[in-house]
Each structure stands twice: as C-alpha cells, then as structure tokens.
Structure 1
Amino acid sequence: MEPPLLNDAEEIAALYRELSQFPSLSSASIGPEVTTQYGGKYCNVYTEWSQRDLERAENIKFCHQYLIFHDSHSIVYSSPSGNCTEIKGELLSRDSPSGAQKAVLRKTSNTKGEEKQFLEVWEKNRKVKSIELTALEKHGQVYEDDQFGCLAWSHSETHLLYVAEKKRPKAESFFKPKAPELSSEEELAKTERRDKAIKGEQFVFYEDWGETLVAKSTPVLCVLDIESNNVSVLESVPEHISPGQAFWAPGDTGVVFTGWWHEPFRLGLRYCTNRRSAIFYVDLTGGRCELLSDDNKAIWSPRLSPDQCRIVYLENPASGPHQQCSRLCMYDWYTKLTSVVVEIVPRQSQGDFTGIYSTALSEHCWATDSQRVVLDTIQRSRQELIVVDTVSGSVCSLTKGSRLGSWALLTVDRDLLVARFSTPNCPPMLMVAFLPPAGKEAEVNWVCLEEASPIQEISWDVRTLQPPPEQDNPQYAGLSFEAILLRPTQEPKKAKFPLVVSPHGGPHSVFTTSWMLYPALLCRMGFAVLLVNYRGSLGFGQDSVDSLLGKVGSQDVKDVQFCVEQVLHEELTDPQRVAVFGGSHGGFLSCHLIGQYPGTYKACVARNPVVNVASMVGSTDIPDWCLTEAGLPYDQTALPDPRQGAEMLLCSPMQYVDKVQTPVLLMIGEEDRRVPPKQGLEYYRALKAKGVPTRMLLYPGNNHSLSGVEAEADGFMNIALWLIQHLK
C-alpha cells in the first residue's frame, strides 16, 4: 500500500495557506541602554518581519519590539513588548547613533497614482521633519535596495546621507510647438521653476544594473542638512564610478563609499560579488576623491569600527565565478595600511573552517572592543555565525555546538547579538546573546525571544557524498559534497515515498539547513525532497567552486544523479516515482537530467531555466557567466567567436532535447533579466516539436526569482498538481 499523498487541490491550497503564513525575520536594531532606579539595565530590540498576504497579493511588513533586561554580560529577563504593527510605505529607516532620533525614507501615492518620496526625522513621540524629496528635484528616485542603498546619520547627528538616481535633463520633441512669447520677468521665473528641456533626448537609452536593479543607472551621493532642509549632491565622485553603501568618515570630514566601475558597460550586479569595485573617500572640505583600496578587485560591505579607526570589508577577484570564497580585509584610517584578516580557504581540513561566503556584512558587525567582527557565513550545508579577531586573524564559531540548523546575524550593538535561526522543519526564530570576552566566545549563551514550533511531520538530515573514482575531477581530486534530505516523519509500512530531486541555482550558491517554503510544503504533501549541494556549491572551499568551471552540464549533472541513485538505493523512496525540480542553473540541471537520464525522471518542473548558453549570452545581464561557466575567457571588448558559441551549446541542455521523454512544466518570469524568457520559450518549442507533454506558465511583473506573492502561490499549486498527475 502506498503512503498517502495529498492530492486534493483544495487541501493543498489550505496547506499552502497555513505554511506560507510563517513570517520571515528581515532586520533588527537595538535601542539605547536604560538604567532603572534600582540599578538594573534594559534595552529595546526592534525587529522587522515580512509575511505573505494572499488576499492582498503582497508581502506585508510589520514590526515587533522586545524588552531585554541584562547586566551587560548576560540576559536576566526578556519579553515581547506589545503586539505587532504593520509598517506602511517605509523604504528605509535608521536610528541615530545616540538612539534619540530616527530617519525614515517613505513613499506615498497621490490620487493620480503618482509616487512621491519623503525623508522624515522622528524624535521622541513626534515627527519633527518631513521633506518631500520629489518636489526638490535635486535627484531622481532614492535607492532603497541593499546593493547601493543606505541611510546614514553623521556622527554629529546633524546630516543624513543617502543614494539616489542622478537627475536627468528634461527632454522634449523637436516638433513641440513653441510657447507664446513671455516677458523677461515671466521667462526668468519659468527658468527658475524648471530646467530648459533638451530636444531629441526623449528616447536615449540609459544602461541599468540589471536584474532587481532595473532603472538604477547612475547613482549619486546626497546629503541632507537636517537643520536647513537643504539637500546637496556630492560632485566629486568620478564619472566612471557608481557609488553606494556609503557612510560618514571619522569626524564627519567626508564620506566613505563603495564604487563600481561601469565602463565599458554595466553588467548585472545582483548576486555577482565579482564586479570591479573599490572603496573611496570624498573629502567634503577639499572636494577631492581618494582611493582607499585596491582598484583591480571586487570589494563590498565596508564597515567602520566603533572607535572610528578601522574599516573592514569583503574582497573577491574582479572576475571568475559570480560568488566564491571571500577575503576579509581591513583598512586602518590613521596608518593608511591595509591588511588581509582572513584569507581565501582552498579546501577544508579536518572539519575546520571552510572560508567566508557572505553576500554582505551586517551594517553593525563590530564588537565593542573595535577588534572583533561578527558575521554569518556558509560552512558546508549550514550557515553559522563566526567571530573574527582582526589582530590575530583567529576565527571562532558562535553556533557550532548549538542545535543543527542555520543562523543569520541581524545586528550586534554593545556586544548584544541579534540573530535569526531556522531549520528545514522549523520557521525562523529570533535569538539574542551577549558576545563573551575574547577567547571565551564558545561559551556564548543564546536566548530565544520569539519561538517557532518545529513541524513534527517533517524529518531531515544531511548526507555527505564522495563521487565515485571515475567521476573525480583530477585537477581538484578528493572533493566531497552534500545533500539535505527531507521526508515525512511517519514511515510507510510497505510502500515507499515519491522523491522530488532539487539542485540549486547559481551554480555557485548553496542550500542551507534553513526554513524553505516549497520543500516543506512538498514534504507535508507526502514527498521526500532531496536538495543537492553538488561540487561547485559555496561553503566547501574555493577548490570546490573552481572545480565546476568548464564542467557545467557534466560534473554537476553527474553529482546530482549519483546522489539520487545513492538515496534510491538506501532509502524509503520509490525509484518509479522520481521527479526533478529546479530554477535558473537548477533548471539547467533539471533539463540536463531528463535528457541524460530519461529513464529516471517521471516529471520535471523548471523555473526560468538556462537551456541554451550560446543563445543566452547576447540577451542576459550577465554575459560573462555564460563564458566563465563554460570554461572560456570573458572579455567585454571581444567580438563573438563561433568556436566559443559551439562550446557553450555543447554544455547546454538543448544538446539532449532529442532524448527527453519526461513531461515538463516551465515557469517563466516575464520581466526576467538574468535568464531571459526566450530561454524557456526555446525549450518549450523544442519539446512541443518532439511531442513531449509540456506546459508553460508566464508570470507578468515577475523577475528571475518568481517571488511575487501571487506567482509564488499559483506556482506552487501548479507544481503540486503536475507532480501528482505524472507520478501516479
């Protein structure tokens, strides 16, 4: 008898509604320390969460606050403070250094649907400033993203720094009728009201920074003088640099920022920590712009120490894989010397540290001693918190002995750590602890502020795999990889679970032992779910990342298939009911697997898959990815080479489309700039021509992630019903 598989559409929708309501924890900040009349100390922890609202078809944001009574070394008592409150229209918000004021960037829409942006300053229990930035016409839209965006208080709390789109000249048609003659006074008033429009510039193309950064082309640094309400745009940033991630230099003498080169043309930046960039300093008195770091690397997340003496940042080569193992570097403000604190780790030795893999450092990541830095990093299939001593370079885990799962740092302030913890069967929990003194970090004592109950119906574990000798990569011999297996807790007496195999995208990304909605839903429906971190994944050393270059479509495909065969051989899974499901490079692998191993898979779901690397190179925001992953050199100035096109085609799933028998569901984002929709359409047409059962869903207004609330919900329902239909 088969184990029960949830197959009623209404019951699946009810399950989706239940699990999709778990909120995700996005940010936290810590309020000023207060001493009571009895000598005890407490502070307020402010947290922001987001949750899917299926009725409104949007992600809503809400805040929840907590009180923590402590003695500066340990937490004495903690408790939620009041109920949650939904946050409306806030794009960015930051407390001032003393905690006395708060700055908010807010957007509103008028009755005509026109969007306006306001910069507000709040103090105690009232709003003391509200400046309509749109009306000032000093710049375009303010950036609220985490790539460029910032909202930084000066140390003196008199100025605010932010990033916005450069103001563009107004443009008009050559054939616009001339306005009637005006008197000189009227003409002068009109000129003061608006800039003179330039003819013939209406349809000029402006490059942007690609996927999720559409319409963000030329950022500028802007400073608001809070007392005078005056906004000024810093003019000293070099023309060929896009500035972002800015903060005030020690003593408020100027501004420090990360600058990305945009010559000869912009490449997609999201998830690409290999773009040429550097740290710069603009002196506000002299107006000069000074380079503080190497100018031939990729550099991001600069963070100033509490004593304002040192800046730490992450560094990668300005080429190669989009994400890889990073260096942690430090610049000394007074000696002007740069040092490498943590080096790139080629390979893990004896279960030790595998290196730093982090998309960003937390905005507040320094310990009070201005010597230690706390960050989260992937270590094999787990995300951990580590503390790095910038003097000795020693690395210590803050989470190694804790429950199996994954951790993310939200903030650290006065040595109070705020973190998020989750597992594949437990939604996010809010955790706090004091950072112990140097040398005693392993004694950290975590306290849970917001509990979440594990889902008892889901069990999971991590498997380590060693490829068979014939599949070893001689250049990078002996590498292992891992997979996370979720399965229903209640084991069937006789029959076996259907298996859904899921390789991640990237390919230089990773599945961590954290909460993921789709795998949890599939498991609750009755599927076993296998999440494969094939060689090339992050968290296993730089050698693992490099081993995949030039071997996509081969090494990664073999790793996934080897893992599947091992699980089918050992586990309570049914070899006759196996499906594959992946997005982006995971979609690329899904399409490869059904072409190279057509007998294994009875159903396939591919979200925005790469199917033809050769045809993608001319239309994606990351053309360098196509060549680099195929093992070819990338040069922005090079002309197309037919031999390179042939090699890119040879590593593509399109090579194997003749062998495909598996029914395929394609899910495509109409606004995808990373893997353009034409990729999915190309595969759809090829499969239809071969008579393979194929269905394609096209989601308007959705980009590469297909993360719009409506698309995500509809997508899951279609995936579930497709799997049920073809795994009977």
Structure 2
Amino acid sequence: MSVLNYTGPSDTYRELAELPLPTSAAFTSPQSDVIHVTYSIRDHERNIKRSVAKTYFVVDGGRSVVPPTHHEASDIVGFAISPSKTRQAILREASDQNGSGKKRFVEIWSGTRLEALHDVTKTHGAFHTDDVLSSLSFSPSESALLYTAEANVDAPEGPDADPYPKFRYVPHFGEAAYSKKRPAIFLFRWRSPNESSDFSSSKTKSLTALSPALPAPASVIFAQAVFASEDRVFATGYDYTDDGRLLGIKGCFNRPSGIWELTLPPQLDVDTSDLCASSPCTSLKLTSSGRSCRSPRILRDANGSPTKLLWLSSATGGPHASSVSLHSRNLSPELSEAKLLIDTVWDPAADAFPGLYTEYNLPSRSFLHLSGSAYVVAQSLWKSRTTVLLIDVTTGSVRDVTPAISEDTLYSWNVLCTDGGRQVVCSRSTPTTPSEIVLGRFDERGNVKWKVLDKPTLSPDAERALGELEVSIIPIPNRPSVETIVIQPKRTTEESTPKPLCVTTPHGGPHATSTTAFSPATIALALEGYTLSLPNYTGSMGFGEKYVQKLLGQCGTLDLADCVATVNHLIELGISEPGRQLIQGGSHGGYLAAHLIGQYPDMFNAAVLRNPVVSIGELPCVSDIPDWCYAEFALPFTPRTLMTPEIYQTLYDASPIAHVDNVRTPVLLCLGEDDHRVPPVQGLRYYHALKGRGRVVDVLSFPKECHPIEGVEAARVCWEAGRDWFKAAEKS
C-alpha cells in the first residue's frame, strides 16, 4: 500500500454534508402558530458554515402548515423570544464596511418595529452563545435583557502605563474555548419597567456588566443567567480550581459549578453608549460543593409569576460525563430546600429507564402544562438512541414519549423548544433519514401526536442510495451494556463473497455514545460500499451509571475487549468476514484504534486515526483536561498532583505507544493544529515512531482546526482521505 493518493471529490458526501442541520427553534407568536427554526448549513463553495432561518405557519388547528419562508441569518449569533412572544432579542455580529473587523449590536424588535438598538462593539468582545456560557433572557416586564460576552481587558493605555494587566496570564475554558477568558453577564435596559412599551428614550438606555460580590477567597465566573423577577436572577457560577485553573469544559459535565441567586442593582438612568459601567450585585450560592450544577430554568404560573427553579447536576471528578440529576426548589412564597427529582440509575432492568443523560443544558424553553400539572420536556440517551422524556416537575416521574416501537425504532430525537402549553418542536433522524422538523401536540393525558413540518430535499440519486442501506442495533452476547449500530448495503443480507469491508468506528470520550442520528460522514462512507459498525462499549452513556463507572481503571482493556468482541460477533453473524476489517476513530476512539492495531496486528487492513491519544503519560502537561488521564485509569487527581515516574509507567503501559513495535497495519493520521484536548504532538509522535520502524504511515495536519476537525474544508478533506486510505487497502 502506498502513501495517500487523492481519487477525487465525492458528490455524495458533499450533498449529504450540505443538508441543513436544525440548531434551535422558538414559537414567535402569542397564539403559538408561528415557529422560527434556525439551521446550520455547510457551504463548500465558500468554505463557511451559514446560518439560515425558516418560519413555519401552522394553520387549521395544526392540521396543515403553510410553506415556510426562509432567510439568511449568518450575522445573527443569538436569538430569544420574550415571555409574551411579542418581542425578539437579536445579538448580531456583522462585518464593518471595510471588511477589516466585526461590529456587534444588541437589537430589540417589537413585531416588525426596531424598539431598541445598541452598538456594543467598543463595550465588550465577542458574544458568548455556546452551551456553557450563553445567557439570553428577557426580564418579566420585557424592558431588560441579560446576555453573556467577553469583557474587555482592563488595562491603562499610554507609554508610561502599567503593562502587566495586558499580559497577565488568565485561564481559559479549554478546547474550542481558549478565547473565552473573561466572560461577563451584561444587563441591557432600554426603558424603565414602568414605562409604556411604546416609548423608548436614550436617557433610560443603559448597559452594565454585573459584578457579583463574592465571599473571600471565592473566584467564580458567572454565566447562564435567567430572570426570575425584575431584580432577581439565577445563574451558573463556574469555580476556578485551587491551583488557579479552569479545566477544559467542552464535553465535560463534571466541572465544579453551582447555582447562584443574584440581586440586581437599581436601574442606571444614564446612557452608556460607548462605555460600560460595572454594577455590583449581591450573590447567594444555592447549591453545595461536590456537584457540577448548571442550566437554571424558571417555571412560571399562568400569571407569569416564578414558582420553581430547576437545574441539572453531575458529580465532580471521575468520568467527564455520566448520568445527570434533576433538581428543583420552590420560589414562591419563598425559596425552599432543594428537592431531588431524578437521581442516578445504577443498573436498570432491561428496557427500563436508564437514567437521565441529557445534553449539557435543558432546552431554553422546556416546560409544558397538561391537566394542571407542569412537565419538563428533554432529550436523553436511552442506549443507542436519543429519546424525548416527559418529566413531572412535582413527582419526578419519567415517561418516554418516543419509545423504540414499530416504524419509530431507529429515530433519535432532539428537543428544540416548547410553547409553554401543549406543543413541542423537535428534530429527529435515523442513520438513513436526514433531520426532519416535527411538531408534537399533547392532549390532557400526556399522549402526543407528531406532525412532520419539514423534510430536507434530496436528489433522486441520494434518496435511492439511502433506501438501499439497512440499519440494525445488535447486542453483543455476554456483555450486557454493549451493542453496536450496523449500517450495511441491503444486498449483504444475502449470500455474497467476499463480504464488503467492515469499518469499525468506536466513539470518543470514552463516556459518549454513538446514536442512530443521521451522520453525513458515516452514511457517505456506507454509500461507498462499506459496512459500518459503531460499537457502544462499556463506559458509553445511556446504559446505566454502573457501566460508566465500570470502565474506570480498565481503559484500554475492557473497552478494547468490547470492540474485539463486536468484530468477532459480526463475523459470526455473517455480516463481515476475517481479513476484510478496517478501523477508524478520533480522540478516545483513536486511542482504541491505535491499541487494536498494536495488540491485534493481523485483524485490520487499514486504520485512520483523528487526533488520537497515544501516550497518556505525556498528556497531562499539555491537555486542557489533565484530570482525564488520571480518572480514567483509577489514579487520584487533585490540584497538587504531579506526574511521577511510577504514575508515568502505569500510564505508559496503558498507552498505544507501548505496542508500536507490533503495528503492521497501514495508518493515516489526521491532526488539528489548534487541538487543546489532544495536542497534535501526540499524533506526530506516533507518526514518527511508525515511520522510524519502516511502517506504512501518512499524516494530514489541518491549520486552525481544533479537536473535532469540523471546519467545512477540513472535514471534507479528512473524510476523503479516509475513503482513499481504505480504497488503497482494498486493492492491496
């Protein structure tokens, strides 16, 4: 097999990758008959990700939908609907006239009228609209807005000024968030709460950065702020560690954080068009240490008064992601003690609720009211699917409203929003069905009927090709938490020789899950004629907390054995055959792939590794999640932990680099040059180790790409390179 050779672009990959991906939704009229949905679209021609919004008009009591209108929304980075659904807040970043930079604006719209506009370009840095830091909340009077943005460096200017504040080290939030060092909650008021909504005066417009008072020696960054009343706000506070770190937080649900109550200062009656005042406010932490608490949500009664505060939490330390707990506190007439609504499920019975495995947050609008009771609607992993759960906010009872039955067996669901009444908007997909937008309407007993509002448009060739694939979820014998999603051409169910090459693709994490959601890269590879196997090994989420915890101390052995058992079981079933096996994976999936080709050198014909972990003992010095290297291998980690020769030896023995001499499989490496989680030096060390031993190896290095390598061009080239590497293996 030669080094990597390009065989040309793939029209199939490009078409599938450019399908719109729903990212958010909102009901935008008081009658809940107008739905605004935002999509992300990969534009290969311009090498950018575009944002497009569609507006759906539901008529005839929900029986029909007017064809949607759509418009470009790429300069809108944040969007929120007011409690009355009569106003919209927009955070906008637009290129300035000469194209040399960005200008930032906060806009408040009342219907089609621009009620307030504020240029915040000089006031602060970029808006923060990610899951971890985003705030976008109207006050009950709809006269103020909370949002999160990067505070400017507070450094004096001039030749004789103190230069140290400008260059002083400030921790950041890690992988894909290393520009986020000084997040702050900003309060924008465009009128007084008692003013008429038809009047907006620049004399009452103000922008202030909240500065919560903290007990010494606490050091906290506040975000995820939501209004409960005009002067009462609840927010998430992220703690620095004792050694001054902000541990990398992307994909990590175990970082020390708490839910805080903030009391706002009186309104400032000044116009701060260019400068931003700092507003001290009182603060009270409501949650105890030892938990990673986040995603505060306010439940209101029919009059709009706040009645409950709900939030999610996970244990700190240990696995970076695991089962999530749901908590509540009554807000009326006064703050009550916290109540645990959903606890960890340790070892669920077959097909029973496995515990809550949500996204990082609850949906921004997540409540329904049925028969006088209130419910949270959330998506959660349930084995190899994501499903929609209806959770009673009083009792904590859970019901799956999208169970794996009949034609819905393979759908994975995402909750986008509710209308606060009986309606919910979701997206859903299967491995062969791209994302659809569906509207769910609940009756008083909690039964739901789903209506598809929109489906993506596929070319006839793509639609026909997807129809020729077969998908199944196959349990692995004698491994109760292990199953694999298999995607294969339907013709392989008949006797054929030889069988298609089988690509095993273990997920990263390790505490993540491969689901039945549509993946353009996965399906495009299947349409090249390969069988795909996506194993959920021990440690995957959605199977019970027992199996998450079971992997700790057995990384590189138990998960490896699960992957080998998966390969062997598919051979036993006649789905694949020996000598026709391929392996690919990224991050921990790359770690497993590198282990497999080192410990089973005759099993795989070729391997593609994306930002793999290959030498664990070297990772704590350079990764944004140094604790991962200790927790996953059952080693203690504290802010005082240092690498010792004994610890290094333990981690070296658990690393793929320890087996590099055995590797005979041709290896392609794809590395992101800005990866802060598994820096490219890991992959490069593996490349040089293989090259020095005369093995077949090649490497692609992608500038400005982080851990996932998800830029438009980079993702395409990475996919094409894997396809070409596997093609060469088939010919050799």
Q: Which residue of 1 aligns with 2:211?
A: 235
SS for the counterpart of 1:521 is: helix
TM-score, normalization by structure 1:
0.90
Counterpart in 1 of 2:451? 447
The CA deviation string for residues 13-39 of structure 1, in whole angstroms up to 9 with x for no partner, is 1222222222111111012244xxxxx
Residue number in structure 2 paired with 1:475: none
In structure 2, the partner of 1:38 is none
Q: Which residue of 2 aligns with 1:631?
A: 634
Aligned 8 A contact 1:48 1:62 in 2: yes
Task: Kindly report which structure 2 residues correspond to 1:24-43, keeping only aligned pairs within 5 A, or say none.
Answer: 24-34=21-31, 43=33
Deviation at 1:163, TM superposition (A): 1.4
1:269 aligned residue = 249
Q: In structure 2, the residue corresponding to 1:644 is in which secondary structure?
A: helix
After TM superposition, the structure 1 stretch with the greater mean CA deviation from structure 2, 234-243 or 311-320, is: 234-243
Residue 408 of structure 2 is aligned to residue 403 of structure 1: yes
8 Å CA contact 1:466–1:480 kept in 2: the answer is: no
State which drifts further: 59-68 or 199-208. 199-208
Equivalent residues of 1:298, 1:317 under 8 A apart = yes
2:14 match: 17
Q: How far apart are 1:526 and its partner, in Å?
A: 0.1
Deviation per residue, 1:343-369 (Å, 9 max, x gap): 100011131100001122101111135
Q: Deviations over 1:226-283 (max 9, x none)?
A: 132210111225360111111012x322211000101331110111110111100111
Match in the other structure for 1:215? 179
- CA distance in structure 2 between the aligned counterparts of 1:616 and 1:379, rounded to whole angstroms: 32
Task: Determine the structure 2 residue equivalent to 1:99.
Answer: 85
1:416 is aligned to 2:423: yes
Match of 1:617, SS state, is helix
Residue equivalent to 2:106: 119
Q: Is the 8 A contact 1:306 1:370 kept in 2?
A: no
Q: Which amino acid aligns with 1:309?
A: T
Corresponding position of 1:711 = 714
- The Cα of 1:8 is off from its aligned counterpart by 9.3
The corresponding residue for 1:653 is 656
For residue 24 of structure 2, give the secondary structure of its aligned residue in structure 1.
strand
- Amino acid paired to 2:432: N
2:469 to 430, 447, 458: 458
- Which sits farther off after the overlay, 647-656 or 293-302? 293-302
- Matched-pair contact (CA < 8 Å) for 1:211–1:268: yes
Q: Cα distance, 1:646 vs. partner?
A: 1.1
Name the structure 2 match of 1:39: none
Cα distance between partner residues in 1 of 2:681 and 2:625? 15
271-280 vs 140-149, which deviates more?
A: 140-149
- Counterpart for residue 368 of structure 2: 367
- The C-alpha deviation readout for 1:188-211, integer Å capped at 9, x for no partner, is xxxxxxxxx423444322211101
Residues 691-700 or 301-310, more deviating: 301-310
1:118-517 equivalent positions in 2, closer than 5 A: 118-135=105-122, 137=123, 139-170=124-155, 176=159, 197-227=161-191, 228-238=204-214, 240-249=219-228, 251-264=229-242, 265-285=245-265, 287-307=281-301, 308-333=306-331, 334-359=334-359, 360-368=361-369, 369=372, 371-400=374-403, 401=405, 403-404=408-409, 405-413=411-419, 414-437=421-444, 440-441=445-446, 443-452=447-456, 455-467=466-478, 479-491=480-492, 493-517=496-520
> Secondary structure in 2 aligned to 1:117?
strand
SS at match of 1:723: helix
Give yes or no for the alignment of 1:59 onto 2:46.
no
The separation in 1 between residues aligned to 2:282 and 2:12, in whole angstroms, is 59
Q: Please say if residues 507 and 585 of structure 2, whose CA atoms lie closer than 8 Å, have aligned partners that are also in contact.
A: yes
Q: CA RMSD in A?
A: 1.8
Aligned equivalents of 1:285, 1:681: Cα separation in 2 = 53
Query: Per-residue displacement from partner, 1:524-581 (whole Å, max 9, x unpaired)?
Result: 0000000000010000000000010011110001100110011022124242221100
1:726, CA displacement in angstroms?
1.2
Q: Is the CA contact 2:30–2:84 (under 8 Å) kept in the aligned structure 1?
A: no
Aligned length: 673
- Percent sequence identity is 30
1:319 partner letter: G
Corresponding residue of 1:189:
none
Give the SS at the match of 1:234. strand
Q: Secondary structure at the match of 1:616?
A: helix
Q: State the alpha-carbon separation in 1 of the partners of residues 294 and 154 from structure 2.
A: 31
Between the aligned partners of 1:693 and 1:450, the Cα distance in structure 2 is 47
1:702 has 2:705 as partner: yes
CA separation in 2, counterparts of 1:146 and 1:465?
34
Partner Cα separation in structure 1 for residue 329 and residue 170 of structure 2: 35
Farther-moved stretch of structure 1 (336-345 vs 453-462): 453-462
Q: Which residue identity does 1:298 align to in structure 2?
A: S
The TM-score, its normalising length taken from structure 2, stands at: 0.89
Aligned residue in 2 for 1:46: 36
Whole-angstrom distance in 2 between the partners of 1:210 and 1:46: 32
Residue 72 of structure 2 corresponds to residue 86 of structure 1: yes
- Give, in angstroms, the shift of residue 112 of structure 1: 5.4
Give the unaligned 5+ runs of structure 1.
Answer: 1-6, 35-41, 179-196, 468-477
- The alpha-carbon distance between structure 1 residues 285 and 556, as it changes in their structure 2 partners (threshold 3 A), is same
What CA distance in whole angstroms lies between the structure 2 residues aligned with 1:117 and 1:536?
A: 43
User: Is this contact kept in 1: 2:135–2:185, CA < 8 A?
Assistant: no
Displacement of 1:126 in angstroms is 3.3
Please, which runs of 5 or more residues in structure 2 have no aligned partner?
A: 192-203, 267-280
**Distance in 1 between the 2:6 and 2:319 partners?**
43
Letter in 2 for 1:631: A
Select which of 691, 694, 705 maps to 1:691. Answer: 694
Alpha-carbon distance in 1 for matches of 2:519, 2:239: 35
- Give per-residue Cα distances to partners, 1:296-350, cap 9 Å, x unaligned: 3111111111221111111111111010011111111124221111110001113
Task: Measure the CA separation in 1 of the matches of 2:730 and 2:578.
Answer: 11
Q: C-alpha separation between the residues in 2 aligned to 1:408 and 1:583?
A: 24
1:3 maps to which residue? none
Q: Is the 8 A contact 2:484 2:536 kept in 1?
A: yes
Distance between the aligned counterparts of 1:709 and 1:240, measured in 2?
38
Q: CA deviation at 1:120?
A: 1.1
Q: Distance in 2 between matches of 1:253 and 1:202?
A: 34
